[in-house]
Copies of this chain bind each other. A is one copy, B any other.
Amino acid sequence: MADQKKLVEDITSMEEDFAKWYTDIVKKAELIEYTSVKGCMVIRPYGYAIWEHMQRILDGMFKATGHENVCMPMFIPESLLQKEKDHVEGFAPEVAWVTHGGNEKLEERLCVRPTSETLFCEHYANIIQSHRDLPKLYNQWVSVVRWEKTTRPFLRSREFLWQEGHTIHATAEEAIEETERMLNVYADFCEQYLAMPVVKGKKTESDKFAGAVSTYAIEALMHDGKALQAGTSHYFGDGFAKAFGIQYQSKENKLEYPHQTSWGVTTRLIGAIIMTHGDNNGLVLPPAVAPIQAVIIPVAAHKPGVLEKANELKDTLAAAGIRVKLDDSDNSPGWKFSEYEMKGVPVRIELGPRDIESGNCVLVTRHNREKTITPLDGVADSVKAKLQEVRDALYQSALANRERRTYDCKTLDEITKALEEKGDGFVRAMWCGDEACEDKVKELTGVGSRCIPFEQAQLSDVCVCCGKPAKHLVMWGKAY
């Protein structure tokens, strides 16, 4: 079989070069392909299918919490982007500008949305008059553009796919509640469906979204001990409403400014999955978002009855709602094993003449290669149970990795020592709340503040940096 591609042989091991290991998987599992525009990628069918499953689940969670989908234009006039001062300062340096339509120069240049707060605000100003028009709980699934200097597939690209929720409420309380609700939705999604434990917390002032009163985030720890911001939820107060002149008539007939939020997760979550669950044989996918949950590989497929039985098995599993593929191509079973390991398919099912004779098949779980001889009778339930087992095992393993790599430190020296001895990870240390200390910690130890976790603890009474009274426990780390 001359044109079989090499698979496993070509992956760099993560211990040797983590960044190379990551891009090897991204390419060899056929998630993306590069294009001639730097930082813009093709998301290939296998990668896009993972995103479709994420979308389907999240969209259901958004709708269950009362949200509706809309679609805003992709272009923002320069004057509109400039209406909220902090917001434009944050985004203007990294937007792509459209200056010509056909052969004509535009009167005003347009940026390709880097995020859509300004468009939603313009729309809200048009459609909101009365308290009866509130709240609006909107979301959209689109792509956005940020002209980054350095790019990496899924983690930081010039164009990426995301959803952006934008809501507007009569009161600050309602808006804050929404901000927290959506952070919890994201955390549940990551933990339940992606099997990825996250830390929920608040960003420090220096790390807030441009224009926000407060930014909440979920942070996850990758295999290499670096932190990845997996989702954010922002509370805007009435700052945007004031900048855009959005007012409503209250029940008491007074003109009031409403309060806003926005929240988003992106295709970056695919990168998070790779770096949370992947191994040196390739991708390891959590079952909920795996395009193929179980692959059937016939052994000695030429023997009478094997393919028939394999097809029967496929139909049984598909009828039970399992995303199943039968690979009856003429590649060797060993080659197929490697291919579907590379693609991270959670369960492989081997089926040969001897299995059939004894009324069994063999289930092999991707993450630990454990084999279970399983009766064909009732096999759909067994596979479902196995998929749940896989999710739980992936979660526990990621959690154990995070715990192993979370260091409680009381001094800067302790931080430096922990990172040197145990490798990168989350550092938990107290902070006085002063930005100068935040900067100094980063400068001296290399870890920046990731968030102020909702789950606080009093590790010490004083700031890890200056020794003044501590205000918060902060989670520090090196970030993607």
Contact = CB atoms under 8 A, between A and B. Distances in A.
Interface in A84-139: 92-103, 110, 112, 119, 122-123, 126-127, 129-130, 132, 138
B101 A98 contact: no
A48 interface: yes
A123 B94 CA distance: 27
A304 interface: no
Interface string A252-294: 0000000000000000000000000000000000000000000
Interface stretch (A72-80, A316-324, A341-349, A471-479): A72-80
A268 to B, nearest CB: 15
Copy count, this protein chain = 2
Nearest to A94: B102
A117 to B, nearest CB: 14
B80 A36 contact: yes
Interface in A400-456: none
A14 interface: no
A101 B36 contact: no
Contacts of A70: 42-45, 48
A433 to B, nearest CB: 32
Contacts of A147: 101-102
Given A42-B123, A69-B45, A71-B161, A37 B102 contact: no
* Most B Cβ at <10 Å: residue of A72, A102, A127, A129: A102
Nearest to A136: B45
A71 B98 contact: no
Contacts of A68: 45, 48-49
A105 to B, nearest CB: 10
Contact of A93 (B44, B51, B102): B102
A76 B45 CA distance: 20
B103 A93 contact: yes
B112 A102 contact: no
Given A3-B129, A73-B159, A95-B102, 14 more contacts: A35-B72, A36-B80, A40-B74, A42-B73, A49-B68, A71-B161, A74-B74, A75-B96, A75-B159, A93-B102, A96-B100, A97-B100, A98-B112, A102-B147
27 contacts: A3-B129, A3-B132, A33-B126, A35-B119, A36-B77, A37-B110, A42-B70, A42-B123, A45-B138, A48-B69, A49-B68, A51-B71, A52-B69, A71-B143, A74-B74, A74-B112, A74-B159, A93-B102, A93-B103, A95-B101, A97-B99, A97-B101, A98-B112, A99-B100, A101-B147, A101-B158, A112-B112
Pairs A-B, 10 closest by C-beta atoms: A40-B73, A101-B147, A45-B68, A97-B100, A43-B71, A99-B99, A102-B147, A96-B98, A93-B102, A48-B69
